[in-house]
Amino acid sequence: MAGRSRHPSKPLTRCGDCGGTLVYPVAVRTGNEGRAVITRRCPECQVVDIVTCEAVAAILWLRREAQIRTDLQACLDAGP
Ligand SMILES: [Zn+2]
């Protein structure tokens, strides 16, 4: 079995190991019955795991990550 697989009761965005909230998706694929299979990584404890969730939750998470990136880029573009 490759990697660890979890069905989280905690929020998707919380690390299953350290509880950190900086986890981010590194890969998303379609699972069975309209679910998404997300490979995610925690930058705090370096753990990589696999979770499944409702596809809509994955979409919302990816959208949030994209928004964060946009906001960060806007900060960089604004300069000091
Ligand atoms: Zn962690």
Cβ distance 52 to 34 under 8 Å? no
Using the mean position of ligand 1's atoms as its centre, give its distance from the Cα of residue 77 in Å: 30
- φ, ψ for residue 26, nearest 5 deg: -105, -25
**Per-residue pLDDT reduced to its tens digit, 26-68:** 999 999 998 999 999 999 999 999 999 999 999 999 999 999 9
Domain limits of the chain?
Answer: 5-78
Cβ distance 53 to 38 under 8 Å? yes
**pLDDT grade, residue 1 (50/70/90)?**
very low
Using the mean position of ligand 1's atoms as its centre, give its distance from the Cα of residue 24 in Å: 11
Using the mean position of ligand 1's atoms as its centre, give its distance from the Cα of residue 63 in Å: 22
Q: Are strands 35-41 and 5-6 parallel, antiparallel or unpaired?
A: unpaired
78: left (phi over 0), alpha (psi -120 to 50) or beta: alpha
Question: Which residue(s) pair with 5 in the sheet?
Answer: 50
